[in-house]
Amino acid sequence: MAKRAARIARGAEQKSGVSTNLALVRGRLVALPTVRVIDRHQRATTFDVATVVNGRRAVVPVVALNMDLPIIKVGDVVTAFGHVRRRFFRVGARTQSVTELLAEQIAPGGKSQRLEKLFTEASARQRELRTASLN
């Protein structure tokens, strides 16, 4: 049984369904976005979005690669759509990791047309993933 669980954890295909990694987070911007340049070819913009889950505050780190963000300030409502990833990096002699939402689209909270477009995109992606195989 443990061998099968380990295979599933490593990404082996399950017989009963498909895998989905979609994330849609809406909350308030905690601090100003930070921009850093990676390998002279990529620009990573990172920021934190605070949400409420089961009555408790949860902060979600969001990263946007090579994306121009809308004008947002601390306390603004932001919606980010993308997928969750775990990234490993070295700090001195230690390896650390961070789990973050890799954003594909970001919309300020007050723009209802943009939000509708984000939710439509998320629904379409979910339908597409349900019919795709993992081969």
Tell me how long the chain is: 135
Residue 75 confidence class, pLDDT cut points 50, 70, 90? very high
How many alpha carbons fall within 13 Å on the CB side of residue 24?
Answer: 14
Would you call 123 helix, strand, or coil by DSSP?
helix
> How is the chain split into domains, by residue range?
19-131
Torsion, Cα 39 40 41 43, to 10 degrees, reads 90
SS (H, E, C) 38-73: ECCCEEEEEEEEEEEECCEEEEEEEEEECCCCCCCC
pLDDT digits (tens, 9 = 90+) for 30-54: 999 999 898 788 899 999 999 999 9
Residue 110 near residue 28, CB atoms below 8 Å: no
Choosing among 3.40.980.10, 1.20.120.10, 2.40.50.140, 2.60.200.30, the CATH entry for 19-131 is 2.40.50.140
What local confidence, expressed as pLDDT, does residue 132 receive? 64
Does 1 score more than 70 pLDDT? no
Mean pLDDT of the chain: 82
Percent of the chain residues topping a pLDDT of 90: 38
Mean of pLDDT values over 89-96: 89
